[in-house]
Structure 1
Amino acid sequence: MVQSQLGLATPDHAHISALHHQTARGREVVVVMNPNLHLVWYYDRIFIQPIPRYLLSEAFWKFLQRQDKALWQACAGFIRTYWYLIKYEIDFQKALDPALGLIPVVDKQNPMTFEEFVQFVRPFTKLGDDCVSKRFTFGELRLSRLNILARIFLGKMTYHHIHAQWNEYLGKFLAPFIALFALLSAVLSAMQVGLATAVVTTESGSWHFFSTVSRWFAVVIIILVLLALISYLVLVIIMMVHDFYFAKKMEQRKRIPGFKHKISEMRSGVV
């Protein structure tokens, strides 16, 4: 998983908001079965992986500690995050909600209580960051920044894509351009009024300086608009080429006998 060591995330494993506070921050909890997305947030949603049932088994932990230390550290760090996600009983009740199912129900006749859950998780809070996987030395991670890091360090278009349609993805770039264009248009209109006023006066002194600045400013704005338009078109072309290449690659792989798609490959990864 991409690690943020460039000041793009808070390097603190306790930087995790409880479930009830996630709602207070306007975030929707989205249940995922991909550990790479656990505690990754994107604007008004945060992805959380439920606790697998086998992690509640003491025998499993003993086996894992003997057989695979790296996996044990990953699981230990994962469980430690739930100490911060479930701080109060209201968080525990939300986690038990069938709509989320973050905590598995092993025995329906005698379900786990809040006190039992706290006793289960508490030992993992005593583990230092050197005892868990590197990922869990951080708390919540922002998906938009992970996508940028994925392009730099993983050679992927995105770490995880959200938008299924091009118009949703490109709309993120259009809105700032439109807002900036409106502001610059207002400035240009004001300059035009100033130049029109200068016509009835002698073009000298400060009016001459203002006239020169206005002409150069107009030229710069034209160049910026052209660059923005070219950049937008280049982005669209890159997306088209990437999707075409992805489709051809999947078509070639389908011809291989016994080939099966992986879940991570069932998308183009551009948007």
Structure 2
Amino acid sequence: MAGREIVLAEKIDLHLCWEGKQLYLKPIPTFLLHHDFFTHAICTAAAPPGSTTASSDLYASACGFLKSYTKLIRHESDLAIAQEKNLIPASVTWNQWCDFSADIVLNTTGMILSQRYDYGELRLTRLNLLYEMHACEPFHWGDHRYKFLLDTISHEWLLFTFVYFTVVLTAMQAVLATQYGAGSVGIQRAAFGCGVFVLVVAGGSCVLMGVFVWLRAYVLFFSETWIGRQQYRIYYLDRILEALVLSE
């Protein structure tokens, strides 16, 4: 039990992504639970049983999505929680779900499905970092845009370094307060050098952290506004071309 809070996400890209105590899950659309719709609209794109060729993206994604729920809902209590969170229609009974999940597992075994679901849950902060390195924008902003800028900074190491330097400087002060330390030139020089070193490291860390956050924010917000302007231009260019074609 990870103790995570279930957050509904209509975007399939966020399904099974987690951040902190939040786990994003996409509710099962009602039409995917209808046998006739699934057979005529999705199964027509499936690869033959036992085939080594990949199915279409639609079939692979749909079956991978449904198969992920067969892993999430294994007990009757899981179904009750899913229905309480509006992930599954309340009309679905436990026996119906058992038959449905068994049918999904049986018909997808050995088939090449979407590789996305081979990895299970994915950490959203790492996805954002990887996506940012590739596309110069995060995978998902969420409701914490400014918090995202600090996600890659290891706060644990910063705290450990601060505590370590505090202990060292306190020990130096205790030694200098003694009669032996006050009369020793070597200890005084060592304490002075240690203090200067700590000040340089602390100041340099603050400067580097500020530069890193500023550069990252600049790149992210610049890419976001630039992409928005390009989409705006493309949209109106299409409208202009459409108007010219109609005028002819």
Distance across 1 between alignment mates of 2:131 and 2:229: 25
Aligned length: 223
Q: Deviations over 1:63-82 (max 9, x none)?
A: 32323623212111111111
User: Is 1:246–2:219 an aligned residue pair?
Assistant: no
What aligned pairs does 1:55-204 form with structure 2 within 5 A after superposition? 55-63=32-40, 64-67=42-45, 69-70=55-56, 71-97=58-84, 100-104=85-89, 111-126=91-106, 127-128=108-109, 131-152=112-133, 154-164=134-144, 166=146, 168-169=147-148, 173=153, 176=156, 177=158, 180-197=161-178, 198-202=180-184
1:118 aligned partner, one-letter code: C
Structure 1, unaligned stretches of length 5 or more? 1-20, 106-110, 261-271
Structure 2, unaligned stretches of length 5 or more? 47-54, 239-248
Distance across 1 between alignment mates of 2:110 and 2:19: 25
Distance across 1 between alignment mates of 2:184 and 2:211: 46
Match of 2:195 among 200, 215, 218: 218
Which one has a larger percent helix, Structure 1 or Structure 2? 2
Instruction: Name the structure 2 match of 1:11.
Output: none
Alpha-carbon distance change, 41 to 192 in structure 1, aligned in 2, over 3 angstroms: same
1:62 aligned partner, one-letter code: T
Alpha-carbon distance change, 131 to 258 in structure 1, aligned in 2, over 3 angstroms: same
Two-structure CA RMSD over aligned residues (Å): 3.1
Distance across 2 between alignment mates of 1:253 and 1:157: 15
What aligned pairs does 1:9-28 form with structure 2 within 5 A after superposition? 21=1, 25-28=2-5
Pair member with larger Rg: 2
Q: Secondary structure at the match of 2:18?
A: strand
Q: Percent identity?
A: 26
Q: Which one scores higher on RCO, CA 8 angstroms, separation ≥ 6? A: 1
Q: Secondary structure at the match of 1:33?
A: coil
Distance across 2 between alignment mates of 1:151 and 1:245: 10
1:60 aligned partner, one-letter code: F
Distance across 1 between alignment mates of 2:44 and 2:138: 36
Alpha-carbon distance change, 171 to 159 in structure 1, aligned in 2, over 3 angstroms: closer
